Amino acid sequence: MTGGDSGPALEGLSRMFSDPEAYGVLPYKNIDTEDGKPQYTGFFIPAHKFSLQKKYLDHRGVTNSVEFKKFYEKQRSKMQGQDLLDYCAEHCFTPNEALFKQGENIFDSVAIADRLTQIRILKEGLQPKKCFLL
**pLDDT, tens only, 62-119:** 999 999 999 999 999 898 877 888 888 889 888 878 776 554 555 666 677 677 777 7
d(CA 112, CA 89): 14
3-state secondary structure of 13: helix
H or E stretch covering 12: helix 8-18
Measured between alpha carbons, how far is 45 from 41 in angstroms, rounded to an integer? Answer: 12
Q: What is the pTM of this model?
A: 0.63
Whether the pLDDT of residue 3 is over 50: the answer is no
